[in-house]
Amino acid sequence: MYGRPANAGLLSSHGRWAYKSPIDGVLGNRNAKWLVLASAALVCGLAAAPALGVAPRVQVMDGFAAPGTPTELNKVTVIKQGDPQATNVLVLIPGTSAGGAYFIPLANSIVRASPDWQVWSVERRENLLEDHSVLDQALDRTATAQQVFDYYLGWLQNPLILDHFQPVSDSSVPFARDWGMEVAVEDVRRVVKAAGRHGRTVVLGGHSLGGSITTAYATWDFRGRAAVKDLSGLVYIDGGSLGGAPPSADEAQASVDDLDHDSPWLDLVGLGLPWAAGVFNALGSSAAVLYPHDRSLAEQFLLLPPSLRPPVRVTNRGQYGYAVDTETGPRNLALVQVHIGRLASSGDPRDWENGELGSVDRMARVFSGIVGMDGTSWYHPRRLTIDARAVNNGIDNPAQDVYGLDAVHGRKVDVPIYAFQASLGFSSGENRVIRAARQLAKQAGVRRRKVTLVSKPDTYAHVDPIAAIPSKNAFLRHLVRFLDRRVTPAGS
């Protein structure tokens, strides 16, 4: 059974459960542990210090009553930033294995540049399963860097550490196999409806897979009415849903059948440890924020693979920057890479020198999050990724019938559209994000003057639009113009 950790409890500030369960024997292979670290260690961070700016407001809402899901998990959390009296709201949806908290620094920049707007970031229900007990102690300075490291990672190599993080077992959450696009869209609907109260304007956007969810929501059929009728614009951040190649009905059914006999969670490293990427994500950036100039504990970790080990001894900032920068990070971490500088030319331990589009400090805050949540998702539902293949830019297809999707109003999305293309959405010489947005606009008859398309795959890595410093962030600059010039605000 899943259950509440004795040392974590219900986090009263957010109403979030932190679940702990048996490991189910998945850690018996030392080589498997090493390979997990090769793909996931030190990507990003623990619930560290809040980003600069006004403290976000967090609200837990009742979500969709998904069949079989316990009531306490039928929740959706919203991180709100900006003036509560602002009459316009930009709702942002995170991507694969990401949490709403990674929008916090960007959202601060948005509301500073556009004070008439709030930003509401969606924290999906799966993140309620995370154990942030010791991460939060680090924020309170009641846990040392070593204690945090041992609780979440050190126990992998030291069997004497008995009080440590316990992953959620697959057998305790069978209902998570049904946490697909319908659940995500229905949860987002609760957020959009709340954002639109009192006549507020609502624009919906998403990063990466969040772009696919954005299209699914806008084109979803709610009792014969397209959900886009509640929106005044769409924003795509290196993501979207290109139409024309959905799976066949047979392929769709096969993927559902496979899921019935497999883990409900996406396993980014393919080793039966679906939580690994998120948990390792919960270390590097927090250390860079909370203990920036200390020598990195991760760099001294015996299981750290060569691809993530710098050639010299490094600080926590140096280790984190080395892992996520495009020049030094391994290629299999492209999902979280950025342009932030280089290792310092001297020093022992070696620090990080900021440069290019961002800084290691801002990047660390992107993923470090706040009390009770970080910028990653430790448990990403496979069904959500599977279902996304059938969204098809809102055009009905046989796979949608198999998955139970209703994203069928792709020809009714007559609202302003902004799409920003970075490196990950660029494939086989094609700007897939730009093509998807252009296709969506054309099939819905959106006038060209209402569409903003920006393509920078050669200079922007996948997370650069989120993490770049405001003065250098082309995505932010075009977004502010889009909100001010393309979107009709409430009361206009």
> How far apart, in whole angstroms, are the C-alpha atoms of residue 395 and residue 219?
8
Model confidence pLDDT, tens digit, residues 380-409: 999 999 999 999 999 999 999 999 999 999
pLDDT tens-digit map of 99-124: 999 999 999 999 999 999 999 999 99
HSE of 10 in the Cβ direction (CA atoms, 13 Å)? 4
Q: Which two tokens stand for residue 62?
A: 């009742």
Query: Architecture of domain 30-486 in CATH?
Result: 3-Layer(aba) Sandwich (3.40)
> Span 234-252, mean pLDDT?
95
Q: Are 333 and 43 in contact, with CB atoms under 8 Å apart?
A: yes
Contacts 24+ apart (CB under 8 A), 448-453: 450/415, 450/416, 450/417, 450/486, 451/416, 451/417, 451/418, 452/416, 452/417, 452/418, 452/419, 452/478, 452/481, 452/482, 452/486, 453/418, 453/419, 453/421
Mean pLDDT over 250-276 rounds to 88
How confident is the model at residue 267, as a pLDDT? Answer: 87
322 within 8 A of 329, measured Cβ to Cβ: yes
**Distance from CA of residue 148 to its chain's centroid?**
22
pTM for the model stands at 0.89
Q: What is the residue type of 238?
A: D
Q: Model confidence over 313-326: pLDDT tens digits?
A: 999 999 999 999 99
Would you give the end-to-end CA distance of the chain in angstroms? 53
Q: How many CB atoms lie within 10 A of CB 244?
A: 11
- The tens digit of pLDDT for each residue in 47-86 reads 333 334 568 999 999 999 999 999 999 999 999 999 999 9
pLDDT band at 269 (very low <50, low <70, confident <90, very high): low
Alpha-helical regions (H) of 114-158: 133-139, 145-152
Q: Which residue has the tokens 């492209």?
A: 334
- In single-letter form, the type of residue at position 256 comes to V
The helix, strand and coil proportions of the chain, stated in percent and rounded to the nearest 5, come to: 40, 15, 45
Strands 221-222, 88-93: parallel, antiparallel or unpaired by DSSP?
unpaired
The pLDDT assigned to 279 comes to: 79
**pLDDT reported for residue 65:** 98
Cβ atoms of 362 and 104 within 8 Å: the answer is no
Angle at 130 between CA 127 and CA 134, to 5 degrees: 140
Give the SS3 label for residue 135: helix
Tens of pLDDT, residue by residue over 282-331, are: 788 899 999 999 999 988 888 777 888 999 999 999 999 999 999 999 88
Return the residue matching tokens 């299981």. Answer: 303
pLDDT band at 277 (very low <50, low <70, confident <90, very high): confident
Query: Do residues 473 and 481 touch, judged by C-beta distance below 8 A?
Result: no
Separation CA 420–CA 238 (nearest Å): 6
What would the two tokens of residue 223 be? 């009792």
- pLDDT at residue 26, as a whole number: 25
Q: Strands 341-343 and 352-354, how do they pair?
A: antiparallel
